[in-house]
Amino acid sequence: MTNDNSRSYSEKIHIWGRIWGVIAILMFISYPLVVSIYYSAWPDAGPFFKGLLGVAPVFWLVGAIEAFTYAPMLGSGGAYLGFVTGNLTNLKVPCALNAMESAKVKAGTEEADVISTIAIAVSSIVTVLIIFAGVLLLAPLQPILESPVLAPAFANILPSLFGALAVIFVSRNWKIALAPLLFMLVLFIAVPSLASSVSIMVPVGALIAIGVSRILYKKGKI
């Protein structure tokens, strides 16, 4: 393998990523577009902007934050695919981290980029298949999935996921993890209502972690 080769892959990924990304944006817009045309039902400006104002400020911010936090974690290929296929925090990002961990590749390298892309691609395909099966089998599945017996299991999916993730990542980087963890503990206990906007707190945690580890690094402690 030569350096030339590797440069061309990462360049190609950006070209592919951009082309697929632009088509994806157009495809996503096509849904409301064809609905409006087919049913001759265009939204009135008033309600449309009122709705958009209610949704866009928060979710544009969250999306921007996610882009800047997750892009480095997922690598270039993984980021292009992950942001088209969605469900990042609750699925794609942990899945990619898990895959990079099990393949023993170092985040930020081209190996990690490739592994993360494969993990996200597989996860997207499996997600689409499972949800498709779910939609097909909705009638028999609905009472099971919505039964009060199972409700606690779905309510606790994030604690179940992050409890296990924490063991791997916090134990290895506890010096980096300590400060942001303590900060978040105090913050969320003091202001429980922040739980609904946890995504906005991710970059805050990242900045604290980066700041503290920069100091520790300069002092030669990590």
Partner 1 sequence: MKDFSVNSIFLFAAAGLVVVFVVVQSVFFLVKAWKRAGELGIARDTLKRVVKGSAVFTIAPAISIILGVITLSKFLGLPLPWLRLSVLGALTYELPAATTAANALGIPIAQGVADPKVYSTIAWVMTLGIMSGLIIITFFSQKIHKGLNKIQSRDKSWASIFNAALFMGMISAFLGMIFAKITTGIVGWIPVFIMLISSVIMLVCGYFVKVRKVRWLEDYAISISMLLSMALSIPVTNLLS
Q: CA–CA separation, 45 vs 28, rounded Å?
A: 20
Q: CA–CA separation, 205 vs 177, rounded Å?
A: 9
Residues numbered 194-213 forming contacts with partner 1, rule: CB under 8 A: 194-196, 198-199, 201-210, 212-213
Task: Retrieve residue 47's tokens.
Answer: 């309600």
Residue 220 makes contact with partner 1 by CB under 8 A: no
CB 208 within 8 A of CB 216: no
Residue 21 makes contact with partner 1 by CB under 8 A: yes
CA terminus-to-terminus distance, the chain: 33
Name the one residue in this structure whose structure tokens are 């469900």: 87
Name the one residue in this structure whose structure tokens are 């599945």: 141
Q: How far is the CB of 131 from partner 1 (least distance, A)?
A: 5
Q: How far is the CB of 190 from partner 1 (least distance, A)?
A: 9
Residue 31 makes contact with partner 1 by CB under 8 A: yes
Name the one residue in this structure whose structure tokens are 């779910």: 134
Residue 215 makes contact with partner 1 by CB under 8 A: no
The Cα-based distances of 217 to 108, 120, 175 in angstroms read: 18, 32, 11
Q: How far is the CB of 29 from partner 1 (least distance, A)?
A: 6
Mapping DSSP to helix (H, G, I), strand (E, B) and coil, where does residue 156 land? coil
Q: Give the total residue count for the chain.
A: 222
Residues numbered 113-172 forming contacts with partner 1, rule: CB under 8 A: 113-115, 117-128, 130-132, 134-135, 138, 141-142, 145-146, 149-150, 152-170, 172
Residue 7 makes contact with partner 1 by CB under 8 A: no
Per CB under 8 A, the list member of 3, 140, 176, 215 interacting with partner 1 is 176
Per CB under 8 A, the list member of 4, 55, 219, 220 interacting with partner 1 is 55
Residues numbered 69-98 forming contacts with partner 1, rule: CB under 8 A: 69, 71-73, 76-77, 79-81, 83-91, 93-95, 97-98
